[in-house]
Structure 1
Amino acid sequence: MTLTPSSSAEEIVAHLKSLRNEANIAGMARYGIDTSTALGITTPQMQAVGRQVKRNHERALELWRTGLRDARMAAILTADPARLTKEDAWAWAGDFNSWEIVDTAADLFTQTTFWRDLIPEFAADGREYVRRTAFAMIAGATVHNKQEPDDNLLVYLPLIEAHATDPRNFVKKAVNWTLRNIGKRNRACHAPALAVAEKLSAGDDRTARWIGKDAVRELTSEKILARLK
């Protein structure tokens, strides 16, 4: 089946189902990805689908509603951030059930005009994948939102401290990732992030210590220090 910008959600889903790969599904499961509705579509294949069908926001919402992991990835790749509403973002976040969906959607969310409002709201949510979304958004913004002022990212350091004691795997890894990304952004961000990492590494909480020590290790590595000179 050849996909085009006029392809319907049903046609895209049919195409994705034709690419089903059991070996890939098994491999995804080994990486902690929820495969209950997965078809095993690879990232290059999914990117190719996105290029073929282009952006179509209404269709993206239809793809999301199918509940299929791969259709939802296609939805994220073809949604229009200018048309995505805060309500849409919350509805999608409520459906998140896998770290890779979270991390891909986080990049879409940080292209919206309201992304800064979502971060503290998502972080305050007790659901593991919703909270992860907040930190995945910050981590992504430090890299992709080149024009974002450093102070707008450094303001999230207290949020990192506040949730560094959350022991859930996909939260603590995202908090650690965020702290490291802020610290690696440039020289201005490095010192404040390293100070937080050192504080966490010396604390009483086991999860916070792991986050802090791992961040200190990277932020004081020769490779990072050389890049930031």
Structure 2
Amino acid sequence: MTTQTPQPPRADVADVSDVLAELAALDDPKVRAINERHGDDHGVNLTALRAVAKRLKTNHELAQHLWATGDGAARLVALLIARPKLFGADELDAMLREANGPKVHYWLINYVVKKSAHKEALRQRWFDDPDPAVASAGWELTTERVHKNPEGLDLPGLLDLIEQQMKDAPDPLQWAMNETLAQIGIHHPALRARAIGIGERLEVLKDYPTAPNCTSPFAPTWIAEMVSRQG
């Protein structure tokens, strides 16, 4: 007898409307004001938002409907309840290009794209994109490879690009390139001195305000701190 994998319940308009209504009820003007200062367009506390997603459980079709609403909070819920492996490469590319706000961008990359079989193809597609937000995603995926799977990467070539481009790169591309620089310095001792030297010359994020007990994003400081923890 052939057994079939259970399918998630079908999403309909009522499901989407109910979720949107629930998120609207959770919207806090104070949270929204804080989020909007950081470029995000929702006012739902993330703990409450995660609780909504946990109750809904994995439901890829509902996730697609919620994403299609364009609502920032609904898209965050969608990314939590989706099945990353069911998205096609072109679908993920379109989602990235229409991501509204840094939190949606970050969750899309870290909760969905990094779990996708299309991750490497998308890294290469996005890396040199003229849109800085899209290119930053390519660098974010490159940072992961630098740390976890560097075979085949031209690490000296990446340092060349960082040295040439990072100083004048716009946010969030500059931040993503800086993360790649730091990870090269942390995980690749043969290139550590060069990575630190690039960071010291460019001085990107040197004066970035850092909370107590947090590591500065300034690459030379970041590299030194993380290497010291390696014992």
2:172 alignment counterpart: 170
CA RMSD after TM alignment: 2.6
Structure 2: stretches of 5+ with no match in the other structure: 1-7, 207-217
Q: In structure 2, how many angstroms separate the alpha carbons of the residues matched to 1:99 and 1:190?
A: 32
C-alpha distance 50-215 of structure 1, shift in aligned 2 (>3 A): same
Q: In structure 2, how many angstroms separate the alpha carbons of the residues matched to 1:193 and 1:123?
A: 23
Q: Give how far 1:212 is off.
A: 8.9
Q: Give how far 1:98 is off.
A: 1.8
SS at match of 2:172: helix
Cα deviations by residue, 1:157-198 (Å, 9 ceiling, x for unpaired): 6346425255212110121123324544x4xx3443552342
Moved more, 90-99 or 59-68: 90-99
1:76 aligns with 2:82: no
C-alpha distance 117-46 of structure 1, shift in aligned 2 (>3 A): same
Matching residue's letter, 2:34: G
C-alpha distance 26-14 of structure 1, shift in aligned 2 (>3 A): same
C-alpha distance 61-99 of structure 1, shift in aligned 2 (>3 A): same
Could you state the TM-score of these two structures normalised by the residue count of structure 1?
0.77
Structure 1: stretches of 5+ with no match in the other structure: 203-208
User: Percent identity between the aligned chains?
Assistant: 21
Contact 1:106 1:133 in 2 (8 A): yes
2:102 alignment counterpart: 99
1:26 alignment counterpart: 33
Moved more, 6-15 or 57-66: 6-15
Matching residue's letter, 1:33: G
1:41 alignment counterpart: 44
Q: In structure 1, how many angstroms separate the alpha carbons of the residues matched to 2:83 and 2:171?
A: 31
SS at match of 1:17: helix
Q: In structure 2, how many angstroms separate the alpha carbons of the residues matched to 1:220 and 1:198?
A: 12
C-alpha distance 12-23 of structure 1, shift in aligned 2 (>3 A): same
Paired positions, count: 205
1:179 alignment counterpart: 181
Given candidates 109, 112, 117, the residue that maps to 2:113 is 109
Decide which structure has the larger Cα Rg and report it.
Answer: 2
Cα deviations by residue, 1:87-121 (Å, 9 ceiling, x for unpaired): 11111011023222111111110110110111121
Could you state the TM-score of these two structures normalised by the residue count of structure 2?
0.77
2:203 alignment counterpart: 210
> Matches of residues 108-147 of structure 1 in structure 2 within 5 Å?
108-139=112-143
